[in-house]
Amino acid sequence: MFKVKVPPNSTYYPLMDLFLAQEETRQRSGGMFTLAMCLMAGVFVSVHLLVALCSGTVLTDVTLHQRLVVWTLPVTLGVLLVGVVVRAYALRFGGASVAKELGGRRLHPASQDAGEKLVLEMVEELAIAGGLPIPEVWLLDEEPSINAFAAGRDASSAVIGLTKGALERLTTEELRAVLLHEFSHILSGDMRLKFEMLVWVQGILFLSWAGRLMVASDSPVGGGFWGGKANAAGKGPAPGRRAPVQELDGESQSRSLLGILMMLVGLVTSLFGRFLQGAIARDTEFSADATSAECLATAMPVVSALRKIGGLPQRSYLNSPTAPESGHLFFGQAWSGVVSTFFPTHPTLEERILRLHPQWNGDFLASVARKVLAEPGSAVATEGAVEAPAPELSAAARAAAAIGARKREKVKAKEKAETLSSKGYPAGNLAFLGTAMLPSQLLAAAVLRRSLKPEWLKHTQSVEGAKGLLLELMKSPDHSAHELAAATASQMLLLLDFSMPMLRRLNQNDYYVLMRRCRKELVRTEEIDVVRFLLLHVVRRRLGIALGLREIDPVVAEDLPAVWGECQVLVSLMMRFGAPTLPARHSAHAAAWASLGYENPPGPRESVNVVEMVDALEAFAKAAPSLKKRVLVACGLAASYQGSVPEREMALLRMFADAMGSPVPHLSTKNME
């Protein structure tokens, strides 16, 4: 047992405002890019000086430097650029690419394994509460340590991964705390920043890898990467024979020498890369720990999970050889070594625990691996079992059980009615837009989840079922005999969230065919349904990013004047959907512009078509997070009537946010103030 001093700032963080967190992450991203450029400049200088030293002349010879820089600069930059391009291509499918490299196994949404089902349901619950498309879940079966990660270019391509040890050693609440930690990275934008770091770190480390390749290719073994001496010319050794060392020509020896130099430089650049990982990743862990603690209203599950990591001999370290490159994505330090001692990607366990629990006495917890069992009465527990005869109950017991069952059904019906009621959401709750995750949001998401029919959810558990479900959602009620025609806008968006893990398994050809069929269904009517058109736009954006067909939009608009016309389009559109009377619409329109700081707002647009709506959303996808929030709140106020935002308009607002690249957590139908 040991004692650690309590940090002076050992307090909880406030609940996360995802727009503010994304703004801070964007600023850190600029710093990361600057730091990466400085490190790459350091790599070039190191290469140049090593080559100059090996030339045998003094370093003060200006002519020598002028002669060397002509080829050291382009060669170094070329190698670094190749490393960045190769890594970017390998990660084009987002978080799934990282999970595959780590040896993960993708879990099927319909898995009947008790442990896998527990994790899948927990991820679904947290994703719905956060307003995110449900990510794929990957399990690292060969990792006995306790760890987890979130990876992806944004929420559309995100995956959640966890080790076998985390599944077998953590309790349900501890596992939920760890997953909340990872979801906070997704919501705040930290995940995207860390994912981009993978590319830059690989570019910096590629020089060392290229040096090892050059040395290996010119080793005294017949044939290498460059082929050694060509057998075709009759000068090389016969196949299967070892080439004598003296047969290596001068050019080959020069390549080997250059390879050794590149490996020496790579040793320095690897330190640069590890420093870059630690500089960006460390501070975000404290914030994610605190967000998880605040969401659960207690820090004990997070603290307990960290203490169990400290109690394991292997802690949170992974066996995967790619752990050092992706270690900054994980819940805990993923690798150990001399370099990780000086450039850790995470704060120490002691620091993280004391931030949340200042009274901690310094001891860790032992844990035992156990197989997760299904809860009694669950589908997994009863599958394949012989039903036991029910015990005989007295008349009074049967009557009491019947009364209890009716009460539970009434409570569920009341919750469902409140979720789908026409009274909508209090306009005052728009002040909480982007706040994650309040207990009321978790409850609202759970109620909305229960409003979905089981037969609808079955379609989301296979690729063909998800494709058919999406096509049915695109049909207007007049052209569809399916019961999905009666689904509300919120239910349609939620079904899309559930379908994402399967839709992301489409190849590019299937994706294009599906999009053409969806558009064909939309244009069958004379007037295009805005809700369904917007839903299709959200699908296209999500799948485009997940399949590597679309890049993340850079921020080019910082202030409202840069997107004035687009803001007018969205506010006018929402105003026409909201209040039923013209005076009430104009009042809501004025309130919307007043929230943006304009007491004399411009007049509303006479008409807005779906093309203008999509163009406006594409423009706001390139806006700063703080500007997105202001406009979304204004759109919500424009749709309000008598202090309430209707259910369909709130669903449209959430689709607006998703199309802008900033999905927002659910708001409650009750007053959240």
Please give the full DSSP string across 339-383, using - where no structure is assigned: HHHHS-SS--HHHHHHHH-TT--S-----------PPTTSHHHHT
Asked if the structure places residue 413 within a domain, the reply is no
Tell me which DSSP letter residue 248 carries. S
Asked if the structure places residue 298 within a domain, the reply is yes
Map tokens 């010879």 to a residue: 61
What pLDDT, on a 0 to 100 scale, did the predictor assign at position 375? 52
Question: Phi/psi class of residue 77: alpha, beta or left (left: φ > 0; alpha: ψ in -120 to 50)?
Answer: alpha
Query: Is-contact 665 129, C-beta < 8 A?
Result: yes
In this structure, are 341 and 472 located in the same domain?
Answer: no
Domain that holds residue 516: 448-546
Question: How many domains does one find in the chain?
Answer: 3
Q: Of 546, 580, 604, which residue sits at a domain end?
A: 546
What pLDDT, on a 0 to 100 scale, did the predictor assign at position 465? 93
Burial of 142 (0-12, 13-18, 19+ CB in 10 A): middle
What is the tally of helices (H) and strands (E) in the chain? Answer: 25, 8
Map tokens 């590597």 to a residue: 548
Rounded CA separation 237/220 (Å)? 11
- Strands 136-140 and 159-163, how do they pair? parallel
Report the run of H or E that residue 524 belongs to, with start and end.
Answer: none
Asked if the structure places residue 428 within a domain, the reply is no
In this structure, are 130 and 257 located in the same domain?
Answer: yes
Map tokens 């794929």 to a residue: 136
In this structure, are 518 and 573 located in the same domain?
Answer: no
In this structure, are 364 and 454 located in the same domain?
Answer: no
598: Cβ–Cβ under 8 A, 6 or more apart, which residues? none
pTM: 0.79
Rounded CA separation 222/237 (Å)? 6
Q: Give the N- to C-terminal CA distance of the chain in Å, as an integer.
A: 45
In this structure, are 584 and 511 located in the same domain?
Answer: no
In this structure, are 527 and 599 located in the same domain?
Answer: no
Rounded CA separation 516/521 (Å)? 9
Rounded CA separation 668/493 (Å)? 16
Rounded CA separation 169/598 (Å)? 56
Q: Nearest-CA neighbor of 421 among 648, 665, 102?
A: 648
Tokens of 179: 């997953």
Low-confidence residues of the chain: pLDDT under 70: 1-15, 55-59, 203-273, 276-281, 338-340, 373-402, 404-423, 437, 479-482, 673
In this structure, are 132 and 270 located in the same domain?
Answer: yes
Rounded CA separation 13/11 (Å)? 7
Asked if the structure places residue 442 within a domain, the reply is no
Q: Nearest-CA neighbor of 634 among 539, 544, 560?
A: 560
Query: Is-contact 36 204, C-beta < 8 A?
Result: yes
Q: Nearest-CA neighbor of 319 among 332, 335, 305?
A: 335
Q: Where are the alpha helices (DSSP H) in 161-249?
A: 164-169, 172-188, 190-217
What pLDDT, on a 0 to 100 scale, did the predictor assign at position 451? 85
Asked if the structure places residue 388 within a domain, the reply is no
Tell me which DSSP letter residue 9 carries. T
Q: Nearest-CA neighbor of 532 among 464, 604, 478?
A: 478
In this structure, are 167 and 188 located in the same domain?
Answer: yes
Q: Nearest-CA neighbor of 275 among 312, 328, 334?
A: 328
Q: Of 373, 397, 423, which residue sits at a domain end?
A: 373
Task: Please name every residue paired with 147 in a beta bridge, in sequence order, or none if there are none.
Answer: none
159: phi then psi, degrees, rounded to nearest 5: -130, 150
Map tokens 């590149």 to a residue: 262
Q: Of 373, 402, 433, which residue sits at a domain end?
A: 373
Rounded CA separation 231/19 (Å)? 63
In this structure, are 198 and 312 located in the same domain?
Answer: yes
In this structure, are 598 and 491 located in the same domain?
Answer: no
417: Cβ–Cβ under 8 A, 6 or more apart, which residues? none
Q: Nearest-CA neighbor of 295 among 18, 610, 630?
A: 18
Asked if the structure places residue 519 within a domain, the reply is yes
Tokens of 454: 């089981």
In this structure, are 96 and 165 located in the same domain?
Answer: yes
What pLDDT, on a 0 to 100 scale, did the predictor assign at position 222? 39
Rounded CA separation 93/508 (Å)? 11
Asked if the structure places residue 344 within a domain, the reply is yes
Percentages of the chain per state (helix, strand, coil), in multiples of 5:
60, 5, 35
- Interhelix angle for 18-54 vs 250-295, to 10°? 160
What pLDDT, on a 0 to 100 scale, did the predictor assign at position 362? 87
Rounded CA separation 552/401 (Å)? 55
Asked if the structure places residue 366 within a domain, the reply is yes
In this structure, are 18 and 145 located in the same domain?
Answer: yes
